Amino acid sequence: MSRGIEDIGNGVPGRPSDDSQMSAACWKGSDLDDSGRGWQISWPPDAVESLLQLCSIVDFQDPDALASGMTLSSLRSGSGSSHVSDHYVELAQMVAHVRTALITGLGFVVATGFPTNEVGYRHAAKSFALFSALVGSLRSQNAQGHLLGHVRDVGADIRDPKNRIYQTNRRQTFHTDSTDAVGLMCINTALEGGRSMLVSVEAVYEEFKRRRPELAAPLFSPIATDRRGEVPEGERPWFEIPVLSWFEQHLTVLYQRQYIDSAQRFPEAPPTSKTTVEALDLFDEIMNEPDMHFAMDFERGDMQFVHNHSLLHDRTEFVDHENPAQRRHLLRTWMSLPGDRPLPACFKQRYGTIEIGARGGIRTPGADLCLPIDPNGC
C-alpha cells in the first residue's frame, strides 16, 4: 500500500463500498432524468430583476471585490433601497440552491431561462459573473488573471504546450478544473456538437474497484501534471497531486489526462509507470462508457454549475458556424465555495491555499485580476 493511502478493507484504498456511505453525487448517467428533474431550475422573473439591478451598482472594474466574496445582504445594504428590488429573496434562494446542489447534492445544476436576448450580451455577461460571485468567490482562470473566461475556438494549436484545449473545437476529454466549482453560460451554441458531459467520480471509482481493485493504488499516488506554462512564483512547471484523494470522509478528484501525459516532456518530472498508465486508461475507459456519464445540450442563456471535487466534465467536438457572430461562445467562471469540503495539504501545490472559500485558481507573477466582458481581453 502506497504511503498516505487509507486501506478500508480488502486491500482497496479509498471510498467505502457500503452504499450508506455514498453521497448524493454518486450517480450513473443512466440514472438521471433527461427532462431535467432534480438537476434543472428556472430563473424566476423577480430574481432576474434583482440581479440586473445589483449589476447596476457593482463596480466590475474592481475585480478584487468579486474575488473576495460577495453576499446579497452586503450589496443591498451598501446600495440604498431605492436601487434594489425588494424581491431579492428569490435571488437568495437561487444562490442557496446552486451552492447546495454543488456541495451536498448531485454535484451540478443547470439554471435555465435567463433572458439573454432581451437584456443583451453585456448585461448577460455581468449578470452571470455577479451571480457566480454570489455563489462563491471568483478565482483566476489563467496566467492573465481573468475572472471571466471565454470558451471559444480561437484556432489554437493544442500541440503547443502553452495552449489549452478549450481554445479549440476538439473534444476535451473528462477533466477537472483547478477550483471548487466551474460555471458556464451559453451565449451561442455550435452548428453541430459541443455537448456537455458530466461523470461522477464516486460511481467511476466503484466500477473501477469492481473490475480491477489491484490497480486502484496508483490513482491515490502523486502524479506529475503539466501546468501548461502557467507557473506560480517559486513552483515547478508541473505539480504532483493524486488523481484521487480520500480525505475527511470525501473522495476528491483532480484530473486532466492530457496534462499528465504532457508533463513527461520535463526530464525532471517523475515518470509514469506502466501500471499507472494502465490504471489511468481504465479510469478513462469507464468514464467514457455511455451509461456512466450524463450528456446535455446547452441553449442560449443556460447557466451550468459543476463541482470539481465530485464530478469531471467534458465537451464533445463541435462544428461551428461560418458567421463569426453566431459561433459557439460560452462564458466561464471559477469559484471557491464557502462551506465546501476540506482538501488535503497536497492541493496547496495547485490551489495556493486550501482555505475554504479562498482557494483555487491560477496566479502567476505580474498578473493582475481582471474581468474581461470583451472576449478579446481586459
- What residues does 329 pair with on adjacent strands? 188
217-265: pLDDT as tens digits: 999 999 999 999 999 999 999 999 999 999 999 999 999 999 999 999 9
Of 165 and 341, the structure prediction assigns the larger pLDDT to 341
Q: Are 184 and 329 in contact (CB under 8 A)?
A: no
Domain boundaries, the chain: 29-351
Helix, strand, or coil (residue 247): strand
Side-chain half-sphere of 173: how many Cα atoms within 13 Å? Answer: 14
Sign of the CA dihedral running 24, 258, 222, 283: positive
Predicted local distance difference test score (pLDDT) of residue 267: 97
DSSP state of 7: B
Query: What span, in angstroms and rounded, lies between the C-alpha atoms of 242 and 62?
Result: 36
Grid cell digits, residue 280:
489511468
CATH classification code of 29-351: 3.60.130.10
The residue type of 248 is E
Please name which of 254, 106, 268 lies closest in space to residue 180, comparing C-alpha atoms.
Answer: 254
- Contacts of the segment 235-240: beta carbons below 8 A, 24+ positions apart: 235/349, 236/266, 236/268, 237/266, 238/263, 238/266, 238/269, 239/349, 239/350, 240/270, 240/346, 240/349
Helices (H), the chain: 45-55, 63-67, 72-77, 88-103, 116-119, 121-135, 201-211, 257-262, 274-287, 348-351
320-359: pLDDT as tens digits: 888 988 899 999 999 999 999 999 999 999 999 999 999 9
Query: What span, in angstroms and rounded, lies between the C-alpha atoms of 171 and 71?
Result: 36
For residue 374, give Cα distances in angstroms to 16, 62, 81, 149, 256: 47, 16, 31, 10, 28
Side-chain half-sphere of 20: how many Cα atoms within 13 Å? Answer: 0
Please compute the mean of the pLDDT values over residues 171-176 and round it to a whole number. 90
Grid cell digits, residue 270:
517523475
Predicted local distance difference test score (pLDDT) of residue 162: 61
pLDDT band at residue 146, thresholds of 50, 70 and 90? very high
Query: Does the structure show a pLDDT above 50 at 371?
Result: yes
Q: Give the chain's length.
A: 378
- What residues does 245 pair with on adjacent strands? 252
pLDDT band at residue 361, thresholds of 50, 70 and 90? very high
Please compute the mean of the pLDDT values over residues 145-173 and round it to a whole number. 75
